[in-house]
Amino acid sequence: MDKTLAIAANTFREAIRDRVLYLLLGFALLMIGSSIFLSLLTVGSREKIIIDLGLSAISLFGVLTAIFIGVGLVFKEIDRKTIYTIVTKPVGRAQFILGKYLGLVMTLSVNLVVMTIGFYLLLAYEGAAYARLLPAVGLTLLELIVVTALAILFSSFSTPILSALLTLGAYLVGQLSWSLRLLQDRLDPGIGRAVCEFFYWVLPNLWRFNIRAEVTHAVPVPPAEVGLAVVYGLAYAALLVFIACLCFERRDFK
Amino acid sequence: MMIGTRLVVGGLLVALLGTGAWAQAILERWQSGREIGGQLMYLPNGRYLKVASFGYAPLLADLIYLWSIQYYGTYDREVRYDIVEHVYVDVIGELDPLYSDAFLMGSLILSVEARAPERALEILDIGMERNPEDWILPFEAGFVAYNQLRDFERAAGYYKRCAAIPGAHPVARRFHAEMFNRMGDKQTSYAKWLEVYETAEDDFVRDVAYSHVHDLRIEIDVEALQAAVEIYRENHGSYPASLKALVAAGLIQALAVDPEGESYTYDPSTGEVGSQSKYRLWRR
């Protein structure tokens, strides 16, 4: 475990030196801040627009950071050939992947905290710093944990560009997997419905982590629902990281 | 880099920027007469946009709402009133069904600008269905029904619905009480105003409610006495000598006094019943 944590700490240090991180963080804070100007164009709904834009920026830029940094982590080690020095040491490949993953999750968590502080400072200025928004931010972190796991999985067996495209595709599919139910309802019983059913359970359902509309409109979200979403997210991410470890174990670095 | 090369590169950049600005200025002039907000009309239903928004439907609803505000802020659009329901109900309302301001804005455009109160109420009815806990929508609907349609019964229904929602502005109960008066049902209106008066939490509301209770009490008593006088005349062929004769004839149980403790006036020559106390509200 110490080795995994050491790799995680090193990954964190490496990630916070990445200029892409600061670029995306800067854009996110700019987008959050710009909501105050955008809200000048409205009649009513000023608070709603600031909250919607802030929560969306936190989610969107978090996902972009997870993809852009996540897909390059493993590849960099292979490209710089530093992977050879790591795999020759008594460090398991699974520990390496897990360490990389945890390091990136740490980076994204810090990133999310910075964005949330920026968001709440703006809300405090507007007199709307509601605590009810925090569960939505928390579930955004769960969403990022799953997206990071997807990025690590794809980067464990493919190139950064392909991994980025696959992760982005999986993210979009994850946002739409609920619609498989709609398709299923329109199909006659048989193989088509079974295929829909299969993919509905296998594909990530990122919709489960989206309670942004509810918290914006102060619609109560039962804590049990949030808790189950956390369980679902952690279990799904663990599954993806496990598969990533299996893929990486079989990878030939020659 | 040589100074000459720098000058050439700088000149090229300025020339490109100038060309872009020139083309932009000409396009702006050419396209100025076009229905630029008209694209709102061609937006697909929010149910489809929601799928395409990849989890950011409320944000997309905000952006279209902002777009609509700019569109309706310009008054020379030809189709502005034809697409209100599409923009605020079918698109924004489907993207974010809890977006009360969108329903409110659509109804305001239709009721205040387009003078189409029935269409405004249709939007508000949909908004209320989706936001049953938001009091502003039935309140606005009550005002449209009362102020524009003069349909007091319908307005009373909306105000009743509004007043029942926790956190509703207390003025909803006052409007509700007053609608019965406008309908001609003074007894019910009196009972509702009395309830407002007895449960008022501040002096202003108590004073307003008392004025209504005061005036309604006088109106109800005067109308009842006047009706009894007319029955007396039909039965006896002449007006009673005094209001006490109504009690003796069994037409009323006792002589009422007004809220200020004064007895009601009566003119036996004309049979007219009146009040010594003045009405507190100017409209009466």
What value does the mean pLDDT of chain A take?
Answer: 88
* pLDDT of amino acid B255: 85
Question: Per-residue confidence of chain B (284 residues) as pLDDT tens digits?
Answer: 678 888 888 999 999 888 888 888 887 777 666 555 556 777 888 888 888 888 899 999 998 998 888 888 776 666 678 889 999 999 999 999 999 999 999 999 999 988 999 999 999 999 999 999 999 999 999 999 999 999 999 999 999 999 999 999 989 999 999 999 999 999 999 999 999 999 988 899 999 999 999 999 999 999 999 999 999 999 988 899 888 888 888 888 888 888 888 889 999 889 899 888 888 886 54
Q: A24 pairs with which residues across the strands?
A: none
Whole-complex ipTM: 0.74
Instruction: Please give the Cα distance from B56 to A212 (Å, whole number).
Output: 9
pLDDT digits (tens, 9 = 90+) for B130-173: 999 999 999 999 999 999 999 999 999 999 999 999 999 989 99
Q: In the predicted model, is pLDDT for residue A13 greater than 50?
A: yes
In the structure encoding, which two tokens stand for residue B277, read together? 């106390």
Instruction: Verify whether the Cβ–Cβ distance A172 to B69 is below 8 Å.
Output: no
Interface check B165 vs A, CB under 8 A:
no
* pLDDT of amino acid B284: 47
Q: Burial of B128 by CB count in 10 Å (0-12 exposed, 13-18 middle, 19+ buried)?
A: buried
* pLDDT of amino acid A145: 95
Instruction: Verify whether the Cβ–Cβ distance A38 to B70 is below 8 Å.
Output: no
* pLDDT of amino acid A46: 85
The 3-state secondary structure of chain A, one letter per residue: CHHHHHHHHHHHHHHCCCHHHHHHHHHHHHHHHHHHHHHHHCCCCHHHHHHHHHHHHHHHHHHHHHHHHHHHHHHHHHHCCHHHHHHCCCCCHHHHHHHHHHHHHHHHHHHHHHHHHHHHHHHHHHCCCCHHHHHHHHHHHHHHHHHHHHHHHHHCCCCHHHHHHHHHHHHHHHHHCCHHHHHHHHCCCCHHHHHHHHHHHHCCCHHHHCCHHHHHCCCCCCHHHHHHHHHHHHHHHHHHHHHHHHHHHHCCCC
Half-sphere exposure at residue A51, Cβ-oriented, CA atoms within 13 angstroms: 24
* pLDDT of amino acid A41: 81
pLDDT digits (tens, 9 = 90+) for A77-122: 777 777 777 777 777 888 889 999 999 999 999 999 999 999 999 9
Tell me the chain A residues in contact with residue B55 when contact means C-beta distances shorter than 8 Å.
Answer: 59, 175, 206-207, 210
In the structure encoding, which two tokens stand for residue B260, read together? 């200020």
Instruction: Verify whether the Cβ–Cβ distance B58 to A56 is below 8 Å.
Output: yes
Half-sphere exposure at residue B10, Cβ-oriented, CA atoms within 13 angstroms: 7
State the smallest CA–CA distance between residue B198 and chain A in angstroms: 33
The residue of B51, B60, B66, B109 whose CB has the most chain A CBs within 10 angstroms, and thus the best one to mutate to test that interface, is: B66
pLDDT digits (tens, 9 = 90+) for A189-241: 889 889 988 888 889 999 889 999 889 988 888 999 899 999 999 999 999 99
In total, the C-beta contacts within 8 angstroms joining chain A to chain B are 53
Residues of A with CB under 8 A from a CB of B: 38, 41-45, 48-49, 52-53, 56, 59-60, 172, 175-176, 179, 206-207, 210, 212-213, 216-217, 219
Interface check B48 vs A, CB under 8 A:
no
Tell me the chain B residues in contact with residue A38 when contact means C-beta distances shorter than 8 Å.
Answer: 66
Instruction: Verify whether the Cβ–Cβ distance B62 to A48 is below 8 Å.
Output: yes
Instruction: Verify whether the Cβ–Cβ distance A53 to B62 is below 8 Å.
Output: yes
A247 CB-near residues (< 8 Å, 6+ apart): A153, A156, A157
* pLDDT of amino acid A56: 92
Are B284 and B217 a contacting pair, CB within 8 Å? no
pLDDT digits (tens, 9 = 90+) for B219-229: 999 999 999 99
Give the helix ranges, DSSP H, for B144-185.
Answer: 152-163, 171-183
Pick the residue from chain B with its C-alpha nearest to A45. Answer: B101
Q: A2-18 burial string, b = 16+ CB within 10 Å, else e?
A: ebbeebbeebbebbeeb
Instruction: Please give the Cα distance from A113 to A117 (Å, whole number).
Output: 6
Q: In the predicted model, is pLDDT for residue A10 greater than 50?
A: yes
Q: What is the DSSP letter of B42?
A: G
Measure CB to CB from residue B59 to each of A42, A44, A53 and give the nearest one.
A53
Tell me the chain B residues in contact with residue A207 when contact means C-beta distances shorter than 8 Å.
Answer: 55
B35 CB-near residues (< 8 Å, 6+ apart): B77, B78, B79
